[in-house]
A and B are shown apart, each in its own frame.
Chain A
Amino acid sequence: MAFESLSDKLQGVFKKLKGKGVLTEADINEAMREVKLALLEADVNFKVVKDFVSSVKEKSLGSDVLESLTPGQQVIKIVNDELVTLMGGANSKLTYSPRGFTIFLMVGLQGTGKTTTCGKLANYLKKNGKKPMLCACDIYRPAAIDQLEVVGKSVDVPVFTMRECREPEIIAEKAVKEAEMKGYDVLIVDTAGRLQIDEALMDELVRVKKAIKPHEILLVVDAMTGQDAVNAAAGFDEKLGIDGVIMTKLDGDARGGAALSVKQVTGKPIKFIGLGEKFDALEPFHPERMASRILGMGDMLSLIEKA
């Protein structure tokens, strides 16, 4: 399970804390050192870890915590609250254009899962009563257009393509017209993977953005990413202004540090998580549930909802 090793380590720290009726500053320092190591080993960005730990420490050292009857529990609660804040508070939903026609632009580094997620998102929207169309703007990767077409077929959503066109902004613009004309209400635009430091390709995205004014720009991030997650996220955000993140490949044993870092660095929420290669493996992201799962407090809400 994703987050498992982080979860194990933090719970180990908490066990020690819980057992103590009285907490000293030294106890807290020791616990925070362990929390810091656990977060670092889980790939949480180094700077994020530092800020996190110092914030928890500061709050924990307040007299109302240390003098309470259950200081250990109080500290755990502080960690929990800080984790929720770190991941973005409440669930952030997709927003739709009040105009009635919404455009989502998918962007990200190479191989993170954009094309697959386009299919998942289309599938999700369809289930929620929307009429989505896909648009193929990856003109570089071999067979990228074929891939999106197969994806579209799998989820039974039409795909707009212009195989001869070498200008993504023109493809996107034409797709918008076609989708509106044919009565679709959401257009999901797939783009080629690119490095945030590749100026030419980032400029291309800026042109696409200008041409179609997407309602949301969604950054697709691989959950297995290490310390670089924040560089990529910050780079895309600075250049394009992203609106949210979709974190993919959480079906493995990813430690999830990327998920804990990108929100903090960009201020943009994680909206969905990808949990597999199939087109129904997409779920809205609930920070508070994820935090309690990491802390081993049981994913109560999810359980209640499933029953």
Chain B
Amino acid sequence: MLFDKPKKSFFGKLSEKISEVFLGRTVDEELLEELEEVLITSDIGMDTTMKIIGQLREDVRKQGLTTEQQVKDRIAGIVESLIDKGENHQICQEIPLVILMIGVNGGGKTTSIGKLANKFKQEGKSVLLAAADTFRAAAGEQLELWGERVGVNVISHHEGADPSAVIFDAIQSAKARHIDVLICDTAGRIQTKKNLMVELEKMNKIIGREYPEAARETLLVLDATTGKNAISQAKEFGEITDITGIVLTKLDGTAKGGIVITIADEFNMPVKFIGVGEGMDDLKEFDPAEFAGGLFNE
């Protein structure tokens, strides 16, 4: 079933905690304050937490909510309304499609590319990968191994090569071979590093210039363990590229990934996939209803 794992980690935990908070109490201010703590410890930012609790408080009063289940359902409903971006959760179905994977260091870009390639291949699409991380030690080898594992080709240059040149070559190759989906790996970069962001901007522009007829996805890879810094990541990366979605990785751990609720709320960015492991099948489509509904269901 979808969301099996995150339910256990994020929502299972959250749910247990909320049950602890309740234990047969009435819904009062003190209780709302404790619920607020639960949300904060899930990395949901302060502003979003206040917003959720504020809404909850109003609903408790207006709708006369009294039981634990009622309050849980209401929080789930509020969270769902914050993260639900409708159709935008689906990855673009048009071809040819170019996907640019971006994000800070070590978030899971390369691994998610391997998983995505696998998914497209299983759908019968032809896939090509571009190893435009020419900086990190053995980044090209890592992507090539993923290519081998999944059975797709990888365009790569030597270490230290211009990443835009790799993308340029990959585009020409994708056109010549009538590839359905081209996925470009990029080096991890801290969003405050000006020169690295300029480099990324250049890669982004090359795709637009060299392959205007292709549909585009720019996916920001976010590690679920990330705290408030994710907001700065969404903002800075969003300023130089048109982010079409988020891949939320490492949800198989104990991290709750709550920051994504804040991001969806503040930046209107849809989560498209979640990563729940290191294997090629450990990528799941994001479903806001399940995500929110799973919040308090054991």
Interface residue ranges, A against B (CB under 8 Å): 37, 40-43, 45-46, 109-113, 115-116, 119, 140-144, 146-151, 154, 195-197, 222, 224-229, 231-232, 235, 249, 251-255, 257-258, 277
In the complex, the chain A residue whose C-beta lies closest to that of B147 is A142
Q: How far is the CB of A236 from chain B (nearest CB, A)?
A: 12
Select which of B45, B106, B255 is within 8 A of A228 by beta carbon.
Answer: B255
Separation of A195 and B106 alpha carbons in the complex (Å):
14
CB-CB under 8 A from A116, the residues of chain B are 137
Pick from B67-75, B221-229, B283-291 the stretch touching chain A: B221-229
**A226 and B40 in contact, given A143-B141, A146-B141, A277-B105 (Cβ under 8 angstroms):** no
Q: How far is the CB of A297 from chain B (nearest CB, A)?
A: 24
Separation of A277 and B144 alpha carbons in the complex (Å):
22
Separation of A212 and B142 alpha carbons in the complex (Å):
29
- Give 10 closest A-B pairs by Cβ, nearest first: A226-B227, A111-B106, A43-B227, A142-B145, A150-B137, A252-B190, A228-B255, A147-B138, A143-B141, A146-B138
A226 touches B136 (CB 8 A): no
Contacts of B162-188 to chain A: CB distance below 8 A: none
B108 within 8 A of A: yes
B142 touches A147 (CB 8 A): yes
B142 touches A255 (CB 8 A): no
- Most chain B beta-carbon neighbours within 10 Å: one of A40, A111, A225: A111
B107 touches A226 (CB 8 A): no
B253 touches A224 (CB 8 A): no
A227 touches B142 (CB 8 A): no
CB-CB under 8 A from B255, the residues of chain A are 225-228, 231
CB-CB under 8 A from A195, the residues of chain B are 252-254
20 contacts between A and B (CB under 8 A): A42-B228, A43-B43, A43-B227, A43-B228, A46-B40, A110-B278, A112-B106, A115-B137, A116-B137, A142-B141, A142-B145, A146-B138, A147-B141, A149-B138, A197-B253, A226-B225, A228-B224, A252-B193, A252-B229, A257-B228
B254 touches A37 (CB 8 A): no
Separation of A232 and B250 alpha carbons in the complex (Å):
13
B254 touches A232 (CB 8 A): yes
Given A146-B137, A225-B255, output 19 extra A-B contacts at Cβ < 8 Å. A40-B40, A42-B228, A43-B229, A110-B108, A111-B223, A142-B146, A143-B142, A146-B142, A147-B136, A195-B253, A197-B254, A222-B225, A224-B229, A225-B227, A227-B255, A228-B225, A228-B255, A228-B256, A232-B254
A226 touches B226 (CB 8 A): yes
CB-CB under 8 A from A231, the residues of chain B are 254-255
CB-CB under 8 A from A40, the residues of chain B are 40, 46
CB-CB under 8 A from A149, the residues of chain B are 138
CB-CB under 8 A from B224, the residues of chain A are 228
B19 within 8 A of A: no
B66 within 8 A of A: no
Number of interface residues of B (CB under 8 A): 45
CB-CB under 8 A from A232, the residues of chain B are 225, 253-254
- Most chain A beta-carbon neighbours within 10 Å: one of B42, B226, B232, B254: B254
Select which of A45, A113, A143 is within 8 A of B138 by beta carbon.
Answer: A143
A228 touches B253 (CB 8 A): yes
Interface residue ranges, B against A (CB under 8 Å): 37, 40-43, 45-46, 104-108, 114, 135-138, 141-142, 144-146, 149, 159, 190-193, 223-230, 232, 250, 252-256, 259, 278
Separation of A231 and B250 alpha carbons in the complex (Å):
14
Q: How far is the CB of B240 from chain A (nearest CB, A)?
A: 16
B227 touches A227 (CB 8 A): yes
CB-CB under 8 A from A115, the residues of chain B are 137
Q: How far is the CB of A83 from chain B (nearest CB, A)?
A: 18
Separation of A277 and B223 alpha carbons in the complex (Å):
18
**A253 and B227 in contact, given A37-B46, A196-B254 (Cβ under 8 angstroms):** no
Separation of A226 and B105 alpha carbons in the complex (Å):
16
- Most chain A beta-carbon neighbours within 10 Å: one of B43, B159, B224, B229: B229
Q: How far is the CB of B275 from chain A (nearest CB, A)?
A: 10
Q: How far is the CB of B161 from chain A (nearest CB, A)?
A: 15
In the complex, the chain A residue whose C-beta lies closest to that of B259 is A226
